Amino acid sequence: MRGRVLRSLLPRALVFAPAVHRHLLRRRVRAGGELATVAADAGPCRGILRRRHGETNSPEVPERAADAFLNVRLRNVLLLTLAQATSSTSLTLVSAVGSLAGYALASNKALATLPSTMSVIGTALSTIPASLLMKRVGRRLGFMVGALAAIAGGLISALALAHGDFWLLTAAALLLGVSVAFAQQYRFAAAETSLPEFRSRAISFVLVGGLAAAFAGPMLARATVQTFETTYLGAYLYVPALGVLAFAWLTGLRMPAPAEEAVRVGGPVRPITQIVLQPIFIVAVLAQMMGQGVMNLLMTGTPLAMMAHHHSFADTAFVIQWHVVGMFLPGFFTGTLVQRWGERPVIVLGVALNLLAVAAATLDVGVQNFWVAMTLNGIGWNFMFVAGSTLVTKAYAPAERARTQAANDFLVFGTAAVTSLSSGQLLHHRGWQVVLGTAAVMLLAALAGSFWRPRAASPTGRSGLAAAE
């Protein structure tokens, strides 16, 4: 029953959310007469707005012009959401079987999580090149390169399993991580295509696309784990297929061309050290680092911990499924919470939920405890990640966007790489309780950072963390 209800949420959201978004933006344009503001953000639609504005002085012109532009914006957000759904499904599928495939192939079982770790390392190493490439060739082509990396990584992973080659599987995971680095920019692209007051909702809505992964990922893992004589081979064969689907969605994006974007966001650029040392940036990136790090620490270790306590693969897939539901279902309302309460309170709420997750996992090692812990961990990650991602967009001027986003994701996924590798080592040598203790320490660091309230100049003209209030 619960599964049927959850499966009905995503299609309904895709129907109603764009309509609500369009209605609210029409009211904004009508009430304020702010066609100039819309035109300034229009990017590739500026010509449309200017032509329509010149046709007549009728009061209907702003609404018609806004509608044309809003359709492009909503189309972009919807396509990014669909791309997020396919990318997250691929990532969830690999997460469900990656550590187990590594365990099956590795001669040294302490290295079982190395393929999963190499995927995160690939993400961390590729964040800066991915951001700079998209600055040069544009979002659309950059995202398509990321989809091609997923296709290649999936094919090589399947080849590695077919030949029983652990190190080839590890190398392929690095390539899959490259694709994730590009996919992590979907949220920033959604923010760029939305008006400032709707950025948190756009980021949140794109992350809702990952809700499809909560069902498709574990379902595919269970259905394909024994499809071939080689265990887990069938699961990896779905990765390139999902990459092809993401590539198809991304061809429909209509983002500003790099040359036009450079003119639109031109201006003075501060040194990157000055940007990242801002209190507002530090608080934003710390929330994302600790949220992503704790999530990786627990998600990488959970399949191995459950196997060590003699739980079935079906139970493991069930726990991962609800973890992913927790990660992406709050996307329907996290953006609204951020808009209403501010970023910092939502970060604190995310930390609190993660601490409850650690407590639940500490009490017992039954399936129910793993389920509660990983579901709460997913929800807590969503709050910390969305609020932190929204806050970081207030830390830079438009001309500083590419380098700041690259620095942000490098720090976030660098932390994820360290925790992913540490998870296997800690679990093998110290046990599950030490993994949970490490997660608790990281969460306390994020909590301390969220209460930091210095005042300093920001590119938006507001002071320090006032932007987050």
Instruction: Please tell me the distance from the alpha carbon of residue 103 to that of residue 223, in angstroms, as a whole number.
Output: 20
- pLDDT above 90 covers what percent of the chain? 29
**pLDDT at residue 244, rounded to an integer:** 95
87-468 is classed CATH 1.20.1250.20: yes
Which of 24-33, 408-417, 437-446 has the lowest average pLDDT?
24-33
Contact 237, 161 (CB under 8 A): no
Instruction: Please tell me the distance from the alpha carbon of residue 406 to that of residue 275, in angstroms, as a whole number.
Output: 12
- pTM, entire model: 0.67
**pLDDT at residue 346, rounded to an integer:** 94
**pLDDT at residue 21, rounded to an integer:** 47
pLDDT confidence of 381, banded at 50, 70, 90? very high
pLDDT confidence of 454, banded at 50, 70, 90? low
Q: What is the pLDDT of residues 21-60, one digit of tens each?
A: 455 444 444 433 333 333 334 333 333 333 333 433 444 4
Residue 58: phi, psi to the nearest 5?
-60, 140
**pLDDT at residue 287, rounded to an integer:** 94
**pLDDT at residue 55, rounded to an integer:** 38
Residue 312, pLDDT above cutoff 80: yes
Instruction: Please tell me the distance from the alpha carbon of residue 43 to that of residue 195, in angstroms, as a whole number.
Output: 12
**pLDDT at residue 421, rounded to an integer:** 76
**pLDDT at residue 69, rounded to an integer:** 53
Residue 457, pLDDT above cutoff 70: no
**pLDDT at residue 255, rounded to an integer:** 77
Q: Show me where the domains of the chain are located.
A: 87-468
Residue 8, pLDDT above cutoff 70: no
Instruction: Please tell me the distance from the alpha carbon of residue 263 to that of residue 84, in angstroms, as a whole number.
Output: 29
Residue 307, pLDDT above cutoff 50: yes
**pLDDT at residue 96, rounded to an integer:** 75
**pLDDT at residue 14, rounded to an integer:** 45
Closest CA to 29 of 49, 48, 44: 49
Closest CA to 159 of 149, 147, 148, 171: 171
Helix (H), strand (E) at residue 448: helix 432-450
* Average model confidence (pLDDT) across the chain: 79
User: Amino acid identity, residue 57?
Assistant: N
- Averaged pLDDT for residues 143-170: 93
pLDDT confidence of 261, banded at 50, 70, 90? low
User: Amino acid identity, residue 463?
Assistant: S
Q: Which residue has the tokens 């806004």?
A: 66
Helix (H, G, I), strand (E, B) or coil at 457: strand
Q: Which residue has the tokens 């030490």?
A: 434
Residue 385, pLDDT above cutoff 80: yes
Burial class, 452, CB count within 10 angstroms (exposed 0-12 / middle 13-18 / buried 19+):
middle
User: Amino acid identity, residue 28?
Assistant: R
